[in-house]
Amino acid sequence: MAKAKRKSKTPARGKAKAKKPAKVKARAKRAPRRVKKARPVKKAPRAARKAGPVSPLREISAKKIADVVARLSMEANYDLEHDVLEALERGLGAEISPVGKEIFNQLLENAAIARNERMPICQDTGLAVIFVDLGQDAHVTGGLLDEAINEGVRRGYTEGYLRKSVLGDPLRRVNTKDNTPAVIHTRIVPGDRLRLWVVPKGGGSENMSKIAMLKPADGIEGVKKFVAESVRIASANPCPPIVVGVGIGGSFEQCAENAKRALLRTIGSAHPDAFYADLEGELLRIINDLGVGPMGLGGRITALAVHIEAAPCHIASLPVAVNINCHAARHKTAVL
């Protein structure tokens, strides 16, 4: 019996060797990547779309600020504002004392000489007090605001030959020789402008300032008594006829600042609140009835005006401050 032929392991010639399937590692079939849909851009409110793009901050150079402060420092000491001159003219007309009338005439003549000769109205050219309203959309470039203001004061008092009255330390008492540093009060306000008030403050009137933390029970009568007594004690020292700034309410330091800020108002302008406008008029009558008179020599007109600034205060407090300006109520302002 014939033996069965073994099947050859080698393929027949000409036939392609069958490929074994390659061992492929099983991979988990990835799900197709989900493409995130872009979130829709929220539209700006209709009012904002109408307003258009946001404007950049308005730039104000520090050099310009210094230039303006230098100019105002000189002008404030040479030129009394129209409201002050008009108040002195009204005082002259209302004064009944012959000596008082003569003093008013001398004050008006002195103001004219200072303006025409470009000389200081008073030998005490004051501590430079600067009030600043800085718009929140304004940006000072090229330097710091306070440094620009002090540079302006330095130049104004040096170039204008104004007396330097500032000491670097209250106890060691060495003069800084350029009337700096200034006292600067800055508020942030709406808008893109910067407004400056330059207010030289003499020592004679400033030394007559007073503040009291009254009891709420003292009320309006306590306020009137304190203001009148402060002026009576001051007497001739602040060189009347004076302008009286009164701060009522707030905290200790805010009350004092408001008393000085009240002096920025146009002399004789009425308070926008009728209640305080009436109180200003009553205080002016009380003060003029004291009989101190021009330069303390007796007469009808001791004060040209009383201006009040009031602020909210604590339930347990009633702060009152008095800040006095002499007859030369020096102040100049500019808007940048």
pTM of the model as a whole: 0.82
Give residue 123's pLDDT band: very low, low, confident or very high (50, 70, 90).
very high
Query: Which of the two residues, 42 and 280, has the higher pLDDT score?
Result: 280
C-alpha 151/C-alpha 158 separation (Å) is: 11
Domain spans, the chain = 203-329
Cα of first residue to Cα of last residue in the chain, in angstroms, is 127
Query: Which of the two residues, 24 and 129, has the higher pLDDT score?
Result: 129
| 88, 327 contact by CB (below 8 A) | yes
C-alpha 42/C-alpha 200 separation (Å) is: 54
At residue 2, the pLDDT reads 45
Give residue 86's pLDDT band: very low, low, confident or very high (50, 70, 90).
very high
Query: Which of the two residues, 81 and 47, has the higher pLDDT score?
Result: 81
At residue 44, the pLDDT reads 55
Specify whether the backbone of 76 is left (phi greater than 0), alpha (psi in -120 to 50) or beta: alpha
C-alpha 93/C-alpha 86 separation (Å) is: 11
At residue 124, the pLDDT reads 97
Q: Is residue 303's pLDDT more than 60? A: yes
- Dihedral sign (CA 256, 262, 268, 273): negative
Q: Which of 41-50, 91-100, 310-319 has the lowest mean pLDDT?
A: 41-50
Give residue 27's pLDDT band: very low, low, confident or very high (50, 70, 90).
low
Once rounded to an integer, what is the mean pLDDT over residues 13-26? 51
SS3 57: coil
Query: CB-based contacts of 200: which residues, under 8 Å, 6+ apart?
Result: 73, 76, 77, 125, 126, 127, 128, 129, 330
Give residue 93's pLDDT band: very low, low, confident or very high (50, 70, 90).
very high
Specify whether the backbone of 14 is left (phi greater than 0), alpha (psi in -120 to 50) or beta: left
Query: Which of the two residues, 14 and 195, has the higher pLDDT score?
Result: 195
At residue 56, the pLDDT reads 84
Give residue 288's pLDDT band: very low, low, confident or very high (50, 70, 90).
very high
At residue 50, the pLDDT reads 57
At residue 40, the pLDDT reads 59
At residue 144, the pLDDT reads 98
- pLDDT tens readout for residues 187-225: 999 999 999 999 999 999 999 999 999 999 999 999 999
Specify whether the backbone of 300 is left (phi greater than 0), alpha (psi in -120 to 50) or beta: alpha
| 122, 205 contact by CB (below 8 A) | no
Q: Is residue 149's pLDDT more than 60? A: yes
At residue 201, the pLDDT reads 96
Share of the chain above pLDDT 70, in %: 84
Give residue 66's pLDDT band: very low, low, confident or very high (50, 70, 90).
very high
Beta strands in 80-166 (DSSP E): 127-135, 138-141
At residue 5, the pLDDT reads 46
The per-residue pLDDT of the chain, averaged, comes to 90
